[in-house]
């Protein structure tokens, strides 16, 4: 009876009494299991605490070792840039890519932009141009924008230069009808209307030169020989034409130029640096402005030197 009552009193869970060696054999595995559970709980709590602290405090909550690991992982790796419609991929070396990433450009230049387009943005677009032959080339290429995009035009630029004698107005103005038809048959990609417009514009440039001394003086006279600096912050603010472009377009049409609508002329003004439409955050915005001031100083010095020479010649006479 006593044994039965003892077993009844000790029948509750967790209160079973185990004697001798059996107790040690059972209790050790249970203790190990409990220790593992407590360790796992501690780890979960620490990980939850660290993740919350990292999300709330940023880099300040990271340990030094993990921070160094992330720094190593953030190093620049070679990136493949594949242009649309081109099978070959251009691999940018890490050092070159670091230099590229270090410069802030206009937002229409992306990591996937073609290298020629990026170079055109970094070296030509928006830089003031005063050479007549260069201005004629940019005017002709801008006219082609109604049929192609800038990347496509730049990829065919050398071919255009070869077909149009490096855009020398003197040579292009002498193109005969036979020459124009040969350009059409050679597959210049441009429509016949655009090719004839380029030839006719070259002929009209000489009339402008006779009146203004140079095609450059004519183009820059509309902006008082100083570029228009807009300093837009966002790409959506950059217009496709302007009132000044409409004035120049009307005057060119009156003089017999072809394919010189306001949109084409504004693209020409942007490319020739008559308008600086680089975004204010772009590194070329200040570069183009500085180049413009240098050109103005050189012109001012040349003008003052010419006046001094004229005065000295008058005194000697």
Nearest to 264 by CA among 167, 106, 150, 159: 150
Contact between residue 276 and residue 227 where contact means Cβ atoms under 8 Å apart: yes
Helix ranges (DSSP H) in the chain: 2-9, 20-57, 64-73, 94-101, 115-123, 132-143, 150-155, 157-163, 169-172, 177-185, 192-212, 215-221, 243-254, 262-271, 283-316
More confident residue, 50 or 177: 177
More confident residue, 260 or 23: 260
Enumerate the β-bridge partners of residue 228: 275
> Which residues belong to the annotated binding site for Zn(2+)?
106, 121, 278, 282
Encoded tokens for 190: 């441009």
Which residue in the block uniquely carries the two structure tokens 């924008």?
A: 145
Residue 150: alpha-carbon gap to chain centroid: 13
- Of 148-152, 293-297, 306-310, highest mean pLDDT: 148-152
Mean confidence (pLDDT) of the chain: 75
- Of 15-19, 25-29, 33-37, 208-212, highest mean pLDDT: 208-212
Domains (range + CATH), the chain: 115-314 (1.10.340.30)
Listed range (60-64, 119-123, 164-168, 295-299) with the worst mean pLDDT: 60-64
The half-sphere exposure of 293 on its side-chain side, counting CA atoms within 13 A, is 6
Q: How far is CA 234 from CA 17, 215, 310, in A?
A: 80, 32, 49
pLDDT surpassing 70 at residue 101: no
Q: How far apart are CA 293 and CA 100, in angstroms?
A: 26
More confident residue, 187 or 296: 187
Average pLDDT over residues 143-150: 92
Q: How far apart are CA 198 and CA 139, in angstroms?
A: 9
* DSSP annotation of 62: S
Average pLDDT over residues 41-57: 46
SS (H, E, C) 66-115: HHHHHHHHCCCCCEEECCCCCCCCEEECHHHHHHHHCCCCCCCCCCCCCH
**Residue 309: what pLDDT?**
55
**Residue 68: what pLDDT?**
44
Q: How far apart are CA 9 and CA 12, in angstroms?
A: 7
Q: What is the pTM of this model?
A: 0.63
pLDDT confidence bin for 109, thresholds 50/70/90: very high
Average pLDDT over residues 118-136: 95
**Residue 122: what pLDDT?**
93
**Residue 148: what pLDDT?**
93
Listed range (3-12, 209-218, 246-255) with the worst mean pLDDT: 3-12
Average pLDDT over residues 25-54: 53
Average pLDDT over residues 55-82: 42
Average pLDDT over residues 112-123: 94
Enumerate the β-bridge partners of residue 91: 80
pLDDT surpassing 80 at residue 266: yes
**Residue 103: what pLDDT?**
83
Q: How far apart are CA 27 and CA 40, in angstroms?
A: 20
Encoded tokens for 245: 């472009």
- Which backbone phi and psi does 47 adopt, to 5 degrees? -65, -40
**Residue 220: what pLDDT?**
97
pLDDT confidence bin for 66, thresholds 50/70/90: very low
Q: How far apart are CA 317 and CA 312, in angstroms?
A: 9
pLDDT confidence bin for 42, thresholds 50/70/90: low
Torsion sign across C-alpha atoms 103, 105, 110, 113: negative
Q: What share of the chain is helix, strand, coil (3-state, %, to 5)?
A: 65, 5, 30
Torsion sign across C-alpha atoms 111, 114, 119, 121: negative
pLDDT confidence bin for 37, thresholds 50/70/90: low
Nearest to 85 by CA among 148, 160, 162, 163: 148
Average pLDDT over residues 263-279: 96
> Which residues belong to the annotated binding site?
106, 121, 278, 282
Average pLDDT over residues 94-121: 78
């Amino acid at each position: 009876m006593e044994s039965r009552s003892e077993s009844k009193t000790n029948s509750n869970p967790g209160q079973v009494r185990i004697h001798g060696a059996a107790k040690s054999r059972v209790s050790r595995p249970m203790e190990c299991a409990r220790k593992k559970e407590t360790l796992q709980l501690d780890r979960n709590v620490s990980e939850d605490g660290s993740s919350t602290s990292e999300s709330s405090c940023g880099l300040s909550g990271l340990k030094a070792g993990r921070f160094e690991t992330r720094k190593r992982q953030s190093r620049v790796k070679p990136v493949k840039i594949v242009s649309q419609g081109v099978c070959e991929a251009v691999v940018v070396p890490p050092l070159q890519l670091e230099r590229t990433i270090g410069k802030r450009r206009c937002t229409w230049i992306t990591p996937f932009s073609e290298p020629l387009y990026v170079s055109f943005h970094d070296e030509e677009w928006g830089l003031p141009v005063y050479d007549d032959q260069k201005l004629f080339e940019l005017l002709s290429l801008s006219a082609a924008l109604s049929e192609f995009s800038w990347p496509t035009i730049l990829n065919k630029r050398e071919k255009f230069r070869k077909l149009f004698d490096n855009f020398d107005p003197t040579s292009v103005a002498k193109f005969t009808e036979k020459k124009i038809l040969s350009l059409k048959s050679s597959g210049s990609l441009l429509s016949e209307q655009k090719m004839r417009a380029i030839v006719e514009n070259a002929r009209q440039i000489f009339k402008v030169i006779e009146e203004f001394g140079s095609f450059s003086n004519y183009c820059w006279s509309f902006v008082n020989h100083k570029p228009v600096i807009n300093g837009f912050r966002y790409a959506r603010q950059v217009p496709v034409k302007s009132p000044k472009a409409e004035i120049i377009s009307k005057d060119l049409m009156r003089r017999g130029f072809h394919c010189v609508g306001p949109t084409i002329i504004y693209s020409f003004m942007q490319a020739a640096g008559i308008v600086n439409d680089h975004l204010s955050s772009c590194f070329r915005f200040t570069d183009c402005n500085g180049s413009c001031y240098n050109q103005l100083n050189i012109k001012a010095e040349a003008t003052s030197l010419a006046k001094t020479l004229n005065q000295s010649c008058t005194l000697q006479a």
